[in-house]
Structure 1
Amino acid sequence: MITEFIITAGEQPKRLDLFLANRERDVSRSALQRLIELGRIRVNEQTVKPSHKIKPGDRITMDVPKPEPLSIKGEAIPLEIMFEDQFLLVLNKPPGIVVHPAPGNWTGTLVNALLHHFQTSGGTISTIGGKERPGLVHRLDKETSGVMVITKTDTAHRSLAAQFKLHTITRVYEALVWGVPKKGRGLIELAIGRDSKDRKKFSSRTTSPKESVTEYVVERRYGKVAAHVLLYPQTGRTHQLRVHLASLGHPILGDHTYGGRKVCMVGDVEIPRVMLHARTLGFTHPATGHVEDFMKPMPGDMERVRQAFEQRIIPGEKMPQGAVADIHFAEDAC
Structure 2
Amino acid sequence: MAAFGSIFMPRMALATFDNNQWGESKIVPSDSIPMHPGAHVLHYSSTCFEGLKAFRHADGSVHVFRMDQNIKRFSQSSRLLALPDVNEEQVAQMIKDIVAEFASDVPAPPGSMYIRPTHIGTEAIIGKAAAPSLTSMMYVLLSPVGDYFSGGAHALRILLDENGQRCAPHMGMIKSGGNYASALGPIMKAKEDVQADQILFCPNGDVQETGAANFLLIDGDEIITKALDSSFLHGVTRSSILTIAKDLGMTVSERDLTVSELLERAAKPGVEAVLSGTAAVLTSVGTFIHNDKEFKVGSGEPGPIAEKLRKTLNDIQWGNAQDTHNWLTKIV
TM-score w.r.t. length of structure 2: 0.22
| Structure with the higher fraction of residues in helix conformation | 2
Higher relative contact order, chain-length normalized (CA < 8 Å, sep 6+): 2
Greater Rg over alpha carbons, structure = 1
Q: Normalization by structure 1: what TM-score?
A: 0.22
